[in-house]
């Protein structure tokens, strides 16, 4: 199992809320720390992939539903 420094539960929220909450949570982390995000929005897979590409944060892994789990490392 992936180690992480902070967990964010955005289940039940739809785009763009999961990304906005994740962006805020990542802002509170230090470089190299890992954020775990749990979402239920199927669109969040593409959203988080695009978000990481745009921001330079690393998407370490993601798992598919019904709960989508993402691990992101802060740049």
The set of catalytic residues is 15
CA atoms of 13 and 65, how far apart (whole Å):
14
Q: Which of 36, 27, 26, 21 is nearest to 71 (CA)?
A: 36
CA angle 36, 40, 44 (to 5 degrees): 70
């Amino acid at each position: 199992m992936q180690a992480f420094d902070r967990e964010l539960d955005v289940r039940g929220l739809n785009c763009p809320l999961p990304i906005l909450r994740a962006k805020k949570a990542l802002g509170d982390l230090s470089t190299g720390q890992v954020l775990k995000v749990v979402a239920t929005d199927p669109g969040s897979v593409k959203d988080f992939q695009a978000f990481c590409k745009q921001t330079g944060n690393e998407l370490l892994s993601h798992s598919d539903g019904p709960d989508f789990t993402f691990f992101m490392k802060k740049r």
